[in-house]
Amino acid sequence: MEILLSGGGYGTLPKAINLAIFLAFMIFILRKPMADFFNSRRASIKDELRRALEEKEAAEAKLRLVEDKLLFLNEEIERMRAEAEREAAAEYERLIKQAEEEAERIRLAARREIESAVKLAKQQLREFAAEKSIELASAILTKELRPRDDDRLLDEFAKELEGVQK
């Protein structure tokens, strides 16, 4: 047997047999640890695949959630834009109305101021005309009235008073 194991002189057949015996022995000895290793490796790969599948499903769920939020966000942006446009139009209309009301108030105040100024000017003009009329009449009377006209006017005035008293 030693000759067989040593492989001395017979060629490659004994070497092949030695190799086959060695491999059979190794397989017999390593079969259980290798089976355990491969079983644990298979279980580890299954776990990793299961975890990867769960992570993929979770990522897809998050993606759907983000896409839904993005869709909602776009709708919300459009709603906010439309609301801002409506508010801007309403504010524009309110400002126009306020400006028109203010212009009307200014027109009315100006009209009242003008009417007041016209009344005052007319009153001052009447007073001025009356004063000038009196001054002119006084000047005319002073030039043309003589003492005998003065006596005659007094007599006429006295007669009128007597007629009124009776």
> What ranges in the chain are assigned the alpha helix state H?
2-6, 12-144, 147-165
Q: Are 35 and 42 in contact, with CB atoms under 8 Å apart? A: no
Q: What is the largest CA-CA distance in the chain?
A: 195
User: DSSP assignment, residue 145?
Assistant: -
Mean pLDDT, residues 40-66: 94
Overall domain count for the chain: 1
Structural domain of residue 106, as residue ranges? 2-165
Could you give the percent of the chain with pLDDT greater than 70?
A: 93
This model's pTM is above 0.85: no
User: DSSP assignment, residue 8?
Assistant: -
User: How high does pLDDT run on average in the chain?
Assistant: 87
Does 86 have pLDDT greater than 50? Answer: yes
What confidence tens digit (pLDDT) does each residue in 142-165 have?
777 777 777 787 788 888 888 776
Cα–Cα distance for residue pair 85/148, rounded to 1 Å: 94
Cα–Cα distance for residue pair 60/52, rounded to 1 Å: 12
